């Protein structure tokens, strides 16, 4: 490894740690301010830690770390060091900051007022947004916080036909239902509200993570199959100032040769594209796809350094 590679690796490592610290602090604040005081069970290991703190009084930060250890051991055995290294650092930081914030602000704990449904709903919305932002910042650097992600990856080895996102949802759903049953059995008031608020948190967290990571899908890709390829191509380039690529294909049933126009669009240009296609060929076949990232002329610079 030459000197430049060492410098770049060191810089990347410092940036990784900075992102992990910021994301862990935000997620830990979400846990202490919104999730734990309102008996919310956000799925995964965080949800189990919330159940344990709200029923037997064990510190959530410590339990978050302890419960993750067996998952990391299993993941290390199955997937190797490369997979678990960054995630272990991020998970440890989340555990440490959750404990530190709880110690620095001891008044952030459950109170009878938290049984108010309106307060619980507001807390659930805030928890979903803040925890989603914290986790997304960590995900941006190629790590996770363990828990559901590792559990889902391990379970997919047994059930490969189930998608990764669906597996995570199933894991979170089992944890939420377990929380409801435990809270109900131990006499916790408004256990039903806690379960509903937990589902809200899981949904909002996922939505916020997708928005941060994908930039809310700011670009679209249009695939247009038409007998008037030349007319549509000319209109897209002249009226919308968009470049196009013409792909050559054939019909699966007829085997007739045909041209397919591919055009990257900004989100606000989709309706204009539809109008042009309609005017040029009312029988055209159009597919509009979400693009999480488009690099090149008219969009982000392809030479832009990634996060």
- The tens digit of pLDDT for each residue in 186-212 reads 887 788 888 999 999 999 988 888 778
Q: What is the mean pLDDT of residues 117-130?
A: 90
pTM, entire model: 0.74
Q: Residue 140: CA atoms inside 13 Å, Cβ hemisphere, count?
A: 26
Burial of residue 45 (number of CB atoms within 10 Å: 0-12, 13-18, 19+) = buried
Residues 114 and 38 sit within 8 Å (Cβ to Cβ): yes
Rounded distance, CA 220 to CA 294, Å?
9
What SS3 state is found at 261?
Answer: strand
Phi, psi of 147 (to 5 degrees): 60, -125
For residue 85, pLDDT over 50 is answered with yes
| 8 Å CB contact between 128 and 208 | yes
pLDDT, residue 4, reads 45
**When comparing pLDDT for 11 and 57, which is higher?**
57
CATH dotted code for 219-291: 3.30.70.120
Q: Mean of the pLDDT values across residues 274-290?
A: 91
Q: What is the pLDDT of residue 218?
A: 67
Angle, to 10 degrees, between the axis of helix 229-239 and the axis of helix 270-280?
140
Is residue 82's pLDDT more than 80? no
What is the distance in angstroms between the CA of the first residue and the CA of the last residue of the chain?
23
Does 109 have pLDDT greater than 80? no
How confident is the model over 224-242, as pLDDT tens digits? 999 899 999 999 998 888 8
Calpha distance 53→65 (Å, rounded): 13
């Amino acid at each position: 490894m030459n000197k430049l590679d060492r410098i770049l690796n060191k810089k990347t490592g410092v940036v990784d740690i900075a992102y992990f610290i910021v994301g862990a602090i935000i997620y830990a604040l979400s846990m202490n301010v919104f999730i734990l005081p309102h008996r919310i069970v956000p799925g995964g290991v965080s949800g189990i830690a919330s159940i344990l703190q709200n029923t037997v009084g064990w510190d959530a930060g410590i339990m978050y770390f302890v419960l993750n250890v067996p998952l990391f051991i299993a993941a290390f055995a199955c997937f190797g060091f490369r997979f678990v290294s960054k995630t272990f650092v991020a998970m440890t930081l989340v555990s440490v900051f959750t404990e530190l914030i709880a110690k620095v602000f001891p008044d952030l704990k459950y109170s009878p007022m938290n049984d108010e449904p309106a307060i619980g709903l507001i807390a659930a919305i805030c928890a979903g947004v803040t925890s989603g932002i914290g986790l997304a910042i960590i995900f941006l650097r190629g790590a996770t916080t363990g828990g559901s992600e590792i559990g889902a990856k391990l379970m997919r080895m047994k059930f490969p036909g189930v998608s990764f996102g669906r597996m995570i949802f199933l894991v979170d759903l089992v944890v939420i239902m377990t929380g409801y049953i435990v809270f109900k059995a131990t006499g916790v008031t408004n256990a039903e509200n806690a379960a509903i608020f937990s589902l809200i948190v899981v949904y909002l967290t996922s939505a916020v993570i997708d928005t941060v990571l994908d930039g809310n899908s700011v670009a679209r890709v249009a695939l247009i199959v038409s007998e008037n390829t030349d007319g549509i191509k000319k209109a897209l380039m002249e009226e919308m100032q968009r470049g196009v690529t013409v792909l050559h294909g054939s019909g699966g049933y007829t085997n007739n040769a045909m041209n397919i126009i591919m055009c990257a669009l900004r989100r606000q240009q989709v309706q204009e594209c539809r109008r042009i296609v309609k005017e040029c060929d009312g029988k055209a076949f159009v597919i509009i796809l979400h693009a999480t990232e488009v690099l090149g002329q008219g969009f982000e610079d392809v030479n832009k350094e990634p996060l």
